[in-house]
Structure formats: structure tokens, C-alpha cells
Amino acid sequence: MAIRIEQLGDVSVVVAEGMFKGGSETTELDDVLRKLMVEEKRPKILLDVTGTDFLGSSAIGVIGAAHGHARDHKLNLWICGMQRRVQAVFDLMQFGPELRVFESNREAIEALRGIELDGR
């Protein structure tokens, strides 16, 4: 399990790798997202789960809570690299249009770089 933050211009990329079953790895993901959004108020965050083998219900809950915070505070939290079965769960959860999902890291970063800081 590994979580790292890469800063690419004004886009903060949270790279999550491994399995997120609801233990310390999920708590770490929550801590990282909370720090970026609440403490540092970074306006453009991309969660890259390309290297993630599994997102359990707790991890999806963490992402859902982060999504709600982003929506309420006009931040941009987007996600990329979801495997098909994880994408199916996200589709069922109906997170809303604010949580944009991209296939690739590159595509998401280009889209995030193209938005105004006060926009979505």
C-alpha cells in the first residue's frame, strides 16, 4: 500500500496503490484528502487509482465524503484509473456530475489544468 502526492502545476495528484480494505491504508487516504482539501484548501485534486487493486466500502465512503466536501466548498476532486468493477460501484452510488471520472491520469490532468480556479 502506498499513497503519495505529486504536485503538477496547480494540480495535486494523490496516487493510491494497492488494496484499500478499510484498515490503516484507508485512514491514510482519508487523512491525505482531508489535509489537501480542508487544511491546505487545494482547489484541484486528482485521485489516481490506476495502481489500486481494490477499493472497499470504507474507501468508497472516504471518497464520497471528500467528494461532498469538494462540492460544498467549490473544489475540484476528480478521479482516474478506476478498474471496471470499481467504476460500476461508483456508477451505482450516483456521486453526481462534480466527481468527474477519467480513464487516464494524463487526460484528467489536462482537463483540470484547463479550468478556472473558481469554476468546476
3-state DSSP call for residue 56?
coil
Domain ranges of the chain: 2-113
pLDDT, one tens digit per residue, over 59-92 is: 999 999 999 999 999 999 999 999 887 887 777 8
On whether the CB atoms of residues 41 and 47 are closer than 8 A, the answer is: no
pLDDT, one tens digit per residue, over 10-26 is: 999 999 999 999 999 99
**Mean pLDDT value across residues 107-116:** 86
Topology (CATH) of 2-113: Transcription Regulator spoIIAA (3.30.750)
Cell 503519495: give the residue.
4
pTM > 0.95: no
